[in-house]
Chains A and B, each alone.
Chain A
Amino acid sequence: MTTYISRRFLYTIPIVFGVLLLTFVLFTVVGGDISVELAGKGASGETIDEIREEYGLNKPLFLAWDSQFINHFKNALTFNFGRARDRELVIDKIKRGVWPSLALTAPMLVGVVVISVSLALVVASVRGSLWDTLAVVVCIAGMSIPYLGFVFFGQYFLAYKWGLFPVFFRPDLTTAQNVALPVLIGIAAGLGGNVRFYRTVMLDEMRSDYVRTAYAKGLSRGRVLFKHVLKNAMMPIITRVAMTAPFLFLGSLLLERFFGIPGLGYLMVEAIGARDYSVISAITFIGAILFVAFNLVADVCYALVDPRVTLE
């Protein structure tokens, strides 16, 4: 097992390197020299040079020990992301945004997974019936509604019209109150595609030969579903959960913007508007790291669930 984990971990190293390379190429090479913009309108040549010096933009791109790429690399690994346009340290901004984002996305993730898997099991057990068809229709509809559509319904009806939740983030309310509606919206938006996918997975597993054997042994449908099918379905479920992680970022982006929650998503949107490359680059990098870590955890879960994995 430990060899398996170390192998998976080693594999992440070239990926992290690749991500750093990508963010560097994107923001520095393609993005170009932003010192002119940073200096502001009508700045003198001196100011621009000073800024260049400070941001290290006058150094060669790649081919030197002190090149921009090496610095980018070093900085990212020490979480030194430089300064944003408003001169504040990027790392400070990020630290401020972590908790609100987490308070929003963690419940969303748990909620979506637990509810979708349960619903999918229920739907799979009544396969072929009218309920099943109805469920599929609802899921497809849910998948087609853009994320923002859910936000609309939630914010307009539940908050504005019926006043069940606050329309915007208010510092005087508790975290739970501020986050409740966005979390609900996030879960609702994620259900459609997930339930449909898990249902397909369950149905696929239910067609396997070993399910037929289980029934031939005299097991009841409930036993077959929960004991035999579910454990085999765990592999694709875990994969899907790992894949769902990026949507947490999306949710965080849109929901935070709509509801004014001061998390990382909000930070990102502001940075986009202000063309704040250092912030965007930093968040992209962190996003990638989180995602990679998530996948590593998923890999470990695979090994726990399916005995065939570690013996490869």
Chain B
Amino acid sequence: MDLIANNKRDVKKSDGNGTLLSVRNLSTHFFTEEGIVRAVQDVGFSIRRGRTLALVGESGCGKTATALSIMRLVPAAQGKIVGGQIVFEERNLLDLNEGQMRAIRGNRIAMIFQEPMSSLNPVYTVGDQIAEAIKLHQKKGRKEAWADAVEMLRAVGIADPQRRAREYPHQMSGGMCQRVMIAMAVSCEPVLLIADEPTTALDVTTQGKILDLLGELQRQTGMSVLLITHDLGVVAQRADDVAVMYASRIVETAGSRRLFAEPGHPYTQGLWESLPRLGFKGRRLRTIPGAVPEPLRFPAGCKFHPRCPKGRSDNRCRSVEPELREVEAGRCVACWYARGYEDKA
């Protein structure tokens, strides 16, 4: 635990209200055989220091693409960031060259992925893989980096870290691999950790433990977390702020409690209502009719309108896409019918 607490937090680099990362109008397109997939369109949200923002949405809505765009890990042959700004520590990441970006990856911004077992290199020991990041960013020698790696394993709750560091990923369980990934990510003390569905591939008990671990690390280091998930339970428990994503766009952002108490966008409302709840007896579970649109065949106007009870028959919803507007302090919605939306035009 000492290792993590022993960091030199540079708290100067954020703007007045403690915003660490500010994404504005981010758009990313992917090139496929069937056409251009607009996976991320006009996406905007902010993450504050030390807070956790949950990016919620169904599979295929563009959450992972957004995360990869922030890290600028979109392979050039597959896709391209076509617009927007990603302001991190007062710099627009999209203006940086590759070398500068590499200095940030794994160092100031780190990322962990969904499938921990395949995300680790099977032919190197876990100790080697953690030490690699340390050697790269902190310029430490082999022995020192190895010692640090072992310490990191201990810090993420792996027993007998000396022995484990010499093991290979296939010798470990899924939960342990995810801990290793976390150790690797946090080893250089990043200020932002992007966690792309970190617990989806794990069983329920392990899920809780991993999330607890993330929470603990966050408390100790003050790092922010961008938590990408489709699990509303996780959002309710762990997130400070929430951004809801649908069909490549952000449809709503708000503080977590506010959002659960009073969802503003019909999609969010539909999601909440479809959750089974204690006390619901004998009534059919409500669902959102229809299905998520395919990226190559997005509907015109508001992307949610075909499934929306209000927007389905509304001409405006069918033809004009509502932009994301701040309807009150700390809450943004993209819906013509949202309370307070018209006034803020």
Contacts and interface: CB of A to CB of B under 8 A. Distances in A.
- Which residue, of A127, A210, A228, has the highest number of chain B Cβ atoms within 10 A? A210
Nearest to A207: B75
Interface stretch (B110-118, B213-221, B266-274): B110-118
Interface in B121-141: 121-124, 132-133, 136-137
A127 B77 contact: yes
Interface string A194-213: 00000000000000111011
A215 B122 contact: no
A210 B128 CA distance: 14
Contact of A216 (B106, B118, B121): B106
Given A218-B103, A218-B104, A307-B168, A213 B136 contact: no
A231 B124 contact: yes
A250 B133 CA distance: 48
A218 B122 contact: no
Contacts of A306: 122-123
A128 B123 contact: no
Interface residues of A, number: 22
Contact of B123 (A217, A219, A305): A305
A306 B118 CA distance: 15
A209 B123 contact: no
Contacts of A232: 121-123
Interface string B97-109: 0000011111100
A95 interface: no
A307 B105 contact: no
A271 interface: no
Contacts of A184: none
B181 A213 contact: yes
Nearest to B75: A128
A131 B106 CA distance: 31
A216 B73 contact: yes
A41 interface: no
B118 A208 contact: yes
Interface residues of B, number: 30
B176 interface: no
B76 interface: yes
Contacts of B184: 213, 217
Contacts, number: 72
A217 B133 contact: yes
Interface string A115-135: 000000000000110000000
A215 B115 contact: no
A219 B102 contact: yes
Given A217-B105, A218-B103, A305-B123, A209 B118 contact: yes
Contacts of A215: 73, 105
B120 interface: yes
Contacts of A216: 71, 73, 105-106, 110-111, 113
A87 interface: no
A124 to B, nearest CB: 12
A308 B117 CA distance: 14
A231 B73 CA distance: 22
B69 to A, nearest CB: 13
A101 to B, nearest CB: 36
Closest 5 CB pairs of A and B: A128-B77, A218-B106, A217-B106, A218-B105, A209-B118
Interface of B: 71, 73, 76-77, 102-107, 110-111, 113, 115, 118-124, 132-133, 136-137, 168, 170-171, 181, 184
